[in-house]
Amino acid sequence: MSDQLPPEARFSPSVARNREPILAALRTRLPKSGSVLEIAAGTGEHAAFNAAAFPHLEWQPTDADPNALVSIAAWRDHTALPNLHAPLYLDAASPDEWPLERTDVVISINMIHIAPWSAAQGLMVGASRLLPPGGLLFLYGPYLETEVETAPSNLAFHQDLKARNPAWGLRDLGNVVALAVLQGFKLSERLVMPANNLALFFEKA
């Protein structure tokens, strides 16, 4: 593996900030073996970092953005990890067209607030179809909660997202949980994470 990253490999400042806390949350909760489907893998940095941390898991990154797929492939080529698969095109909002039939874990990091609500709906439908009973769905990001005061930084982020695209914005956690329940999931854990984010673990019934 070359020490020099290819120019196609993109960087996200938020990944450097949150990858270690996410890894700590996942470390004792992922299965000992099996496959992980990462939805909206973005730059591919999380996929490369987590695939290295979990060599016993087959890691399948996906994204709907062609530029993201190029970056994910560049990170994969750079790391040369045997358990990190080539990226696949996947639109979360179109679960009937997902290019897989089964997985043991579905992970989506910082996606549903930077996408229309149809992406969250599709994510739940697709994850329910692919996961076996007891399978894990992991979501990470900022949320709005009725019983918890929203941090000013999250409110500002929400308004910024709305200004960029009215279909985007922080999602109400109650609505996300209700959507998951409709597809046969239960919220098994809610972890408070740094920078006013949440780690949510859903289990397939």
CA distances from 113 to 53, 110, 118, 160, 189 (A): 27, 7, 11, 11, 20
The answer to whether 138 and 105 have CB atoms below 8 angstroms apart is: yes
Q: Tens digit of pLDDT per residue, the chain (205 long)?
A: 456 777 888 888 888 899 999 999 999 999 999 999 999 999 999 999 999 999 999 999 999 999 999 999 999 999 999 999 999 999 999 999 999 999 999 999 999 999 999 999 999 999 999 999 999 999 999 999 998 999 999 999 999 999 999 999 999 999 999 999 999 999 999 999 999 999 999 999 9
Residues in Cβ contact with 191 at an 8 Å cutoff, skipping those fewer than 6 apart: 25, 198, 199, 200, 201
Which domains does the chain show, CATH number per domain?
Answer: 13-187 (3.40.50.150)
pTM score: 0.95
| φ/ψ (deg, to 5) at 79 | -80, -30
| Closest to 74 in 3D by CA, of 11, 20, 19 | 11
The answer to whether 39 and 61 have CB atoms below 8 angstroms apart is: no
